[in-house]
Amino acid sequence: MTAVDTPASRGARPEQPTGDDEPRAGHVPARAAGPPRRAGLIGALSVLLALAVAGLGGALLREALVIGGVVEGSAWLSQASDALDGLAPSATIFVTGMVAFLVGLVLVWIAVRRRSRTARRLAAATGAYLDRRSLVPLAEAHASRVAGVVSAHARIARGRLRLDVLAATEAAHDVENAVAEVVRTQLDALDHPMRVQCSARQALPGIRRSRQMGDSA
């Protein structure tokens, strides 16, 4: 960014990645929206449950009208009670109980599951988020631009970004440091920067020796 930008329109500057929420003169402080979230399983389940509750309410109303004699028909409640009366233990009840138990476990699991966060917040005054899956290609692209890097492979494990780099030079250690530095600088722009680990090895380590052998032959 150049100095031409008006200071009032600037949020977190590149050199101040921690974000600054100070209201600037003549500028209403940005209202940052929360992280993007997927409704996920609980969203779909909520719709199903809402429909089920509506159906249950309707059925109860019907029962009330039938038992009260307003509407002709036989009450489902008395039918169900007749069917269940005198039921003795059986394999059917065991299987039904097992199904109910499993369905209950699934419901509890869906209920306590956290909604997946799909993005990481960037250090900015406004609500700026980087899609979760974008970290790896971003880190790889930046690592690949470091001098001496042949290829870079990134992955996220246990909250850390790990980079495996193939270095063109014998000074793999220098490349390792340079790549880690470049990627770390980028990830500093995250609201909660990640730890970066980089390991580099020399691409085709035998290449020099084989060329010497070829020369001597």
Partner 1 sequence: MRTAPLLVGRVLALVLGLLLAVGGLASMAWSIGVLANLLAGTPETISTEPVTTALDQTWLPWALGAAGLVLATLALWWIVALVPRPVRHLQLPGSDESGRLSVDAAQAASAVARLLAVRVGGTEDHGIVSREGRTLVIESRVRMPPNADLHRTAAAADETDATMRDLLARPDLAYRAVIRVADAEPHGSARVT
Q: For the segment 41-70, give every residue that binds partner 1 (CB under 8 A).
A: 42-43, 45-47, 49-51, 53-54, 56-65, 67-68
Q: Which stretch binds partner 1 (CB under 8 A): 155-163, 166-174, 183-191, 209-217?
A: 183-191
Determine which residue in the list 23, 73, 97, 205 makes contact with partner 1, applying CB under 8 A: 97
Q: How far is the CB of 120 from partner 1 (least distance, A)?
A: 10
8-state DSSP, 30: P
Contacts of residue 27, Cβ cutoff 8 Å, sequence gap at least 6 = 8, 9
Alpha-carbon gap, residue 182 to 179, rounded angstroms: 5
Cα separation of the two ends of the chain: 56
CB-based burial label for 161 (10 Å; 0-12, 13-18, 19+): buried
**Looking at beta carbons only, is 66 or 171 nearer to partner 1?**
66
Q: Does 81 bind partner 1 (CB under 8 A)?
A: yes
Among positions 12-31, residues that touch partner 1 (CB under 8 A) are 12-14, 17, 19, 27-28, 30-31
